[in-house]
Every structure is written in structure tokens, then in C-alpha cells.
């Protein structure tokens, strides 16, 4: 069987087929793969063509499972709302959905991070050298993953406290978090897929002007090796994240 698939998604609906290529098929919540085996999968390109569906290619991901490579073509279907397709959110609830399809859906879920450009009155930017994770040993802006149900601005404030032990206040003139905090609101939202695995990242970066007067910077053990103020040009030289570099340049 071909290991090339098509991931067609529109308004929260995903095209799935039965093992014989017939479809559309829908997951059944709570079904056990150990009993029924895999019964639903993503369609192959020729099966989509046979259904008469026109679509545009957006990107190609390579998914490696059990030492096998699978090519997944992500596309936009040129059709009205596909009422009889599967809800994308239901894929994870059915263990009989082929692992390639479930992994494909997993990779389309945004990984949301929130960061903050803390700038003092000298125009210096506070950077941290991380001790673990993707940027281990590198200088980045303070920040991290946004928790479930958490506003990105709130996450940036929390991460500054957790990573550095400092309390900051980020302006919120529109009261997005429920309370108006006066001030300018320089911020930037970025999205990027960095490699052929297709993990999608969204980064919210805010700006906060403060000298942290009276506060001691205490890097979190086992997470932050060091924290340091850098002049703007040096901050850009040491930064390694594309998100950080763009945010510093624009903010």
C-alpha cells in the first residue's frame, strides 16, 4: 500500500476513508483498536482524485513511525463546507484511526509559546541562557509554553516570575485579561513551521519597559543557567530563535 497520503481539512472537518478507500468515514468515540484493528485512515492521492475533489497543496510533511517514512500532503479542498467529513477533534478519541492520521492531526495543532522583551532605561534587553529544552545552552528571551486556558500575556508574566523570580506588568489597554492595564502595547504574533516534520509554532511576544527596581533576578534551578542584560545589538547577535530575533527587531 502506498505510504503517501492527503490531509484535506476545511472548517474543522477532515477527510478520512475506510481501509478500502471508500468514504468519507467518521471516527467512533471510545472504540478500541485491540478489538477492531485500524479501520479508518487518510486517503491516498489517487483516492482523492477518484472522489472528484479538487484541492491545492499547502505543504508536505514527512512522518516517521516505526522506522517507516510516510509522506502527508496537506491541502485545502475547493469545496463548500464538507458536512459528512469527520470532525478533526474526534480523531484522537477513536483508537481504530490509523496512527499516521492521528499523528498528522497532532502535528497541525499549534504549539503556543509566549515571551517578553524586558527593556530597561538604558535600552538593554534581558536575556536568559536556558539549561534544557530545544535551545539548551543558548540565549533566548524569557518565556515558555502557554498553559491551557491561559492568556499569552498572562503566560509571559508567569514565565518571567518562574524563570527569573521577577514580577513584571505588561500593558493591557484593551482589558483582554479582564482588567485594563494602561500603557502602550507593543506586541508581535508570529507563526512558523521549521522543518519537514511539520510541527506548527505560534509565538506571542510582548514588550515591557522596567528596570526591575528593588528586585533580584534569581534564575530558576535546572532551567535557566544565567540571566544578563544585553545592549540591543548584542542581544540580536546572541539570540538564536527566529522568533526572538524578529521580535527584538520589531519591538
Residue 186 has pLDDT above 90, yes or no: no
Segment 194-199 long-range contacts (CB within 8 Å, at least 24 positions apart):
194/242, 196/60, 196/61, 196/62, 197/61, 197/62, 197/63, 197/107, 198/59, 198/61, 198/62, 198/63, 198/72, 198/74, 198/107, 198/108, 199/107, 199/111
Q: With 70 as the cut, is the pLDDT of residue 2 above it?
A: no
Q: What is the reported pLDDT for 15?
A: 98
CA atoms of 194 and 239, how far apart (whole Å): 17
Average pLDDT, the chain: 92
- As a whole number, mean pLDDT of residues 149-161 equals 96
- Give mean pLDDT, residues 106-113: 94
Q: What is the pLDDT of residue 38?
A: 86
- What pTM, to 2 d.p., does this model score? 0.85
Residue 1 has pLDDT above 60, yes or no: no
Residue 151 pLDDT: 94
For domain 4-108, say whether CATH 3.90.79 is its number.
yes
pLDDT band at 202, cuts 50/70/90?
Answer: very high
Categorize the per-residue pLDDT at 125 as very low, low, confident or very high, splitting at 50, 70 and 90. Answer: very high
Q: How confident is the model at residue 174 (pLDDT cuts 50, 70, 90)?
A: confident
Q: Choose which CATH entry (1.20.1260.10, 2.40.50.840, 3.30.420.40, 3.90.79.10) describes domain 111-250.
A: 3.90.79.10
Amino acid at each position: 500500500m502506498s505510504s503517501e497520503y492527503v490531509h484535506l481539512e476545511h472548517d474543522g472537518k477532515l477527510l478520512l476513508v475506510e481501509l478500502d478507500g471508500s468514504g468519507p468515514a467518521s471516527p467512533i468515540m471510545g472504540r478500541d483498536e485491540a478489538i477492531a484493528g485500524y479501520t479508518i485512515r487518510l486517503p491516498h492521492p489517487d483516492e482523492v482524485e477518484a472522489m472528484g475533489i479538487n484541492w491545492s497543496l499547502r505543504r508536505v510533511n514527512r512522518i516517521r513511525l516505526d522506522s517507516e517514512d510516510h509522506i502527508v500532503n496537506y491541502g485545502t479542498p475547493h469545496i463548500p463546507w464538507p458536512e459528512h467529513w469527520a470532525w478533526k477533534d474526534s480523531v484522537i478519541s477513536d483508537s481504530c484511526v490509523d496512527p499516521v492520521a492521528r499523528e498528522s492531526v497532532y502535528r497541525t495543532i499549534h504549539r503556543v509559546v509566549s515571551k517578553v522583551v524586558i527593556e530597561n532605561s538604558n535600552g538593554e534587553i534581558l536575556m536568559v541562557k536556558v539549561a534544557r529544552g530545544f535551545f539548551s545552552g543558548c540565549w533566548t528571551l524569557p518565556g515558555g509554553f502557554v498553559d491551557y486556558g491561559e492568556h499569552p500575556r498572562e503566560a509571559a508574566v508567569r514565565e518571567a516570575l518562574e524563570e527569573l523570580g521577577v514580577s513584571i506588568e505588561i500593558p493591557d489597554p484593551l482589558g483582554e485579561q479582564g482588567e485594563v492595564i494602561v500603557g502602550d502595547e507593543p506586541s508581535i504574533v508570529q507563526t512558523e513551521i521549521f522543518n519537514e516534520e511539520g510541527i506548527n509554532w505560534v509565538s506571542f511576544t510582548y514588550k515591557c519597559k522596567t528596570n526591575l527596581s528593588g528586585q533580584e533576578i534569581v534564575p530558576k534551578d535546572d532551567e535557566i543557567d544565567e540571566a544578563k542584560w544585553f545592549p540591543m545589538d548584542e542581544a540580536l547577535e546572541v539570540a538564536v530563535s527566529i522568533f526572538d530575533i524578529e521580535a527584538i527587531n520589531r519591538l
